[in-house]
Amino acid sequence: MDSNTNHKSTNVVFQKHHVSRDKRGQIMGQKGGFRGCTIWFTGLSGAGKTTVSFGVEEYLCLHGIPAYALDGDNIRHGLNKNLGFSSQDREENIRRVAEVAKLFADSGVVCLTSFISPYAKDRTMAREIHEQAGLLFIECFVDTPLEGVIPGSVVDCVKELFVSPEYLPAAMEEAAALPSVEISKLDLQWVQVLSEGWATPLTGFMREAEFLQSQHFGCYLEEIIPFQVAAYDTKKKKMAMFEPERKEDFLFISGTKMRSLARSGQEPPAGFMEPSAWKVLSDYYRSAAN
């Protein structure tokens, strides 16, 4: 379905942003550039879509990657509260969510959606909305067995509520065609054993630096990011990057020390700050102290 069809407004013109996606990535401090995308979790009701998406959201945010999860129930409390569960309403529900997810992704956020979205045509529409905007769209089917979603004693009674028998072969064929990665419980247990330091990985399994990161931080950080500290260079009479081999030449002036000097009317070392700027700072702190 073309998301540009069925426009009721004919007198509107799309306005292009002045800020590029690369610039958004820089502003958000995203390593490796722009990361905006949508990860679309689909599956049965109760399959764990929200649990997975909220877990991924938490993990990404803890590692400094902006992410936001859009949950099916939450959306129906606000944006889509006027929609029901008919085929037409489900289609409109997904269309609206796809457009919102596109905006999140365009802003540089990793958008995680958790919607049953049972119709392939609706998911295709969501993908096309992103592709037309040049945004990455990843569809993830949460393949939870029916027995894990509802009690086994009633599985046979309600199976037709999910996929009627005549559509089951087509649904299974569609699911089989989706990209997938199988991770067994044993795989996860070994990763945990290795990350907690109870065993040493086989040769070639992981480079030493990454293995040590997983041991000490509980995750893989891609690479440890070094940072430099600025200090006052007494030899060069100016602020400069600290050089450990010349540590005796550097003077660390903390914010607390700087405010103390400003309040007392003392002058900082020559070259620490432009005199005019220091005067403004000193006048402010001295007036605030009175």
- How many other C-beta atoms are found inside a 10 Å radius of the C-beta of residue 159? 14
Which residues are CB-neighbours of 220 under 8 A, at least 6 positions away? 210, 213, 214
Phi, psi of 69 (to 5 degrees): -100, 130
Choose, from 117, 195, 214, 282, the residue flagged as catalytic.
117
Long-range contacts of 179-183 (CB under 8 A, 24+ apart): 180/141, 180/143
117 part of the active site: yes
Among 23, 53, 55, which residue's Cα sits nearest to residue 36?
23
Q: How far is CA 57 from CA 35, 62, 120, 186, 257, in A?
A: 14, 9, 25, 25, 40
Q: At what angle do helices 87-106 and 120-132 cross, to 10 degrees?
A: 30
Largest alpha-carbon pair distance within the chain?
Answer: 86
- Residues facing 251 on adjacent strands: 232
Phi, psi of 263 (to 5 degrees): -65, -35
Question: Whose structure tokens read 């569609």?
Answer: 174
Alpha-carbon span 37 to 53, nearest angstrom: 14
Q: Would you name the residues annotated as active-site residues? A: 117
